[in-house]
Amino acid sequence: MTSTTDRQDGKANVLKTDVAIIGGGPSGLLLAWRLTLDGISSVIIERQSVEHVQGRIRAGVLEQGTVDVLTRAGLGQRLETEGLRHGGFALALDGRVCRIALDALTGRHVTVYGQTEVTRDLMAAHFDARTKMHHDVSDVELHGLETETPHVTFAKDGELWRIDADFIAGCDGFRGPSRLAIPADQRDEFQRDYPFGWLGILADVPPCREELIYASSEHGFALASMRSPTRSRYYIQCRADEPLEEWPDNRLWDELKRRLGSDVAATITPGPAIEKSVAPLRSFVCETMRYGRLFLAGDAAHIVPPTGAKGLNLAVGDVHYLATALSAYYRRGTELGLDRYAEAALRRIWKTERFSWMMTALLHDFADEDAFAKRMRAAELNYIFSSHAAQASIAENYVGLPFEDVLA
C-alpha cells in the first residue's frame, strides 16, 4: 500500500498506510527502513524535532548481529569506514586488568560506532527515500488496537491528524504513549531501579586505550570508552540525583584516574567536556509486547542498565524480528511471525537483561552491601580473571546472542 493523504475540511488530515510507527529514534527509523526495502509503506511520528533526534548522545558499542542487520539494510558504508572494530575489552579490579578476548573466545567482535551516527545514517536514507515523517507532534493517542482497523491521532502545528493503518509499532521509548495504551491489567511489567547512576563526560581527546575498560575499585565503578580515535567517552558511578555543578571537569578527570588505576591514568588525556550528564540505571521488561494490532519494540518494551552495552542492540533485535514478521505477512499472507514475535523477542531480552544485571552487580558498589558482599564481588572478578570458561561466557554474551528464526 502507498501512503496517501486525504485532507478533510473541518476534520482531521487523514494518512493511510500499512504500518504506523510511533517514535522516530533508531528503532522506529530502522523498522521503517526495513519495511521500505520490502515495499511496505509506513508513516513515522515523533514528538521531538529532527535536530533533537539527530543530536542525542547515546551508547556506541554494536554487536556483530547489529552490524549485520544494518549492513544488509544498505546502511553499512560509514559504519564500515568509520566504525572501530574491537576484538576485546578489559575488566579491571583495583588497577589489575584482564582482557576478555572476544575474537579468540568467540570468533566474533564488536564495533564502536555511536548511536548518534546510526541515527544519522538512518535519517539520511529516509530523507533520500522521502519517507513520511512528522516531527514535533503532540497529543498522540492510539485507537482500535483490538480491531482490524487501528488508527493513531496526533496534533501538529495546531491541526489534528489521523493515521489509518493495518498495524501500529510502538517504538517511542519508556515514557511514550504506546505501552500505556495497553490496559494496565493486560500488561505484565518487571522493574528494578538501581541506587546509583552514571556521570558521563564526552570530550574531544584521544582514548586512553584502544579498547573499552570496565573498572571496579574501592572508590566505585568507572568506564573508559570512545566514539572515535579523537573522541572519548568516560563514566563514573555516582548518586542518581548527583548535581552536575558539583563535578567540574577537573574533578571528574581526577576521579576517573583514581578509579581506573595508575597504569590507565597515565594514558588519560583530559580535555573540556562537549557533553556531561547523569543517567539513572534501570532494568525493565514489559512482557506484553503485542496487544491486538499494536507491537512494542525497543525501549518501549525494555530497558537495560548500560553496563553491558545492550540497549540499542536489543532494540535492533526487536526490529529484526518484527520487520521479518511483517514482511512475511504482506508477501505471503502468513501471521506466523507476528504470532511468534513477542515470544522470540522476550527470550533474547531476558537473557540480555540477565547479562546486563550481572555486569552491573559485579562492577558497582552498592550502599547497602556489607563486607561479605564486597568480598564476594572481588572473588567473582578474581575468578573471571583466572578462568577461561568464565571469560568465554562473558565474551559470548558481550558479542551478542544469535537471532532466532521467527518463521521456522
Per the annotation, the verdict on 329 as an active-site residue is: no
399 half-sphere exposure, CB direction, 13 A CA radius = 22
Cα 113 to the chain's mean position, in Å? 13
Per the annotation, the verdict on 214 as an active-site residue is: yes
Could you tell me if residue 90 is inside a domain? no
The pLDDT value recorded for residue 400 is 96
What is the rounded CA–CA span in Å between residue 256 and residue 305?
20
Share of the chain residues as helix, strand and coil, in percent rounded to the nearest 5: 40, 30, 30
Per the annotation, the verdict on 235 as an active-site residue is: no
Say what the pTM is.
0.94
Could you tell me if residue 167 is inside a domain? yes
Q: Considering 132, 257, 310, 320, which one is annotated as catalytic?
A: 310
Q: Considering 16, 86, 132, 257, which one is annotated as catalytic?
A: 86
Could you tell me if residue 204 is inside a domain? no
The pLDDT value recorded for residue 9 is 44
Could you tell me if residue 161 is inside a domain? yes
Specify the CATH number for the domain of residue 142. 3.50.50.60
pLDDT along the chain (408 residues), means of 10: 50 94 97 97 96 81 96 96 97 93 97 94 93 95 97 96 98 97 97 96 96 94 95 95 95 97 95 94 97 98 95 97 98 97 98 97 92 94 97 98 93
Per the annotation, the verdict on 132 as an active-site residue is: no
Q: Show the domain range for 300.
A: 4-85+110-191+282-365
Could you tell me if residue 143 is inside a domain? yes
Q: Considering 113, 194, 329, 398, which one is annotated as catalytic?
A: 398
Q: Considering 214, 234, 291, 341, which one is annotated as catalytic?
A: 214
Q: Considering 16, 151, 306, 364, which one is annotated as catalytic?
A: 306
> 4-7 and 13-16 as β-strands: parallel, antiparallel, unpaired?
antiparallel
The pLDDT value recorded for residue 59 is 74
Per the annotation, the verdict on 183 as an active-site residue is: no
254 half-sphere exposure, CB direction, 13 A CA radius = 5
Could you tell me if residue 353 is inside a domain? yes
Phi, psi of 362 (to 5 degrees): -75, -35
The pLDDT value recorded for residue 2 is 46
Residue entry with cell 540477565: 354
Residue entry with cell 568465554: 392
Could you tell me if residue 333 is inside a domain? yes
Instruction: Give DSSP secondary structure letters for 285-322.
Output: EES--EETTEEE-GGGTEE--GGGS-HHHHHHHHHHHH
* Domain total of the chain: 1
Could you tell me if residue 231 is inside a domain? no
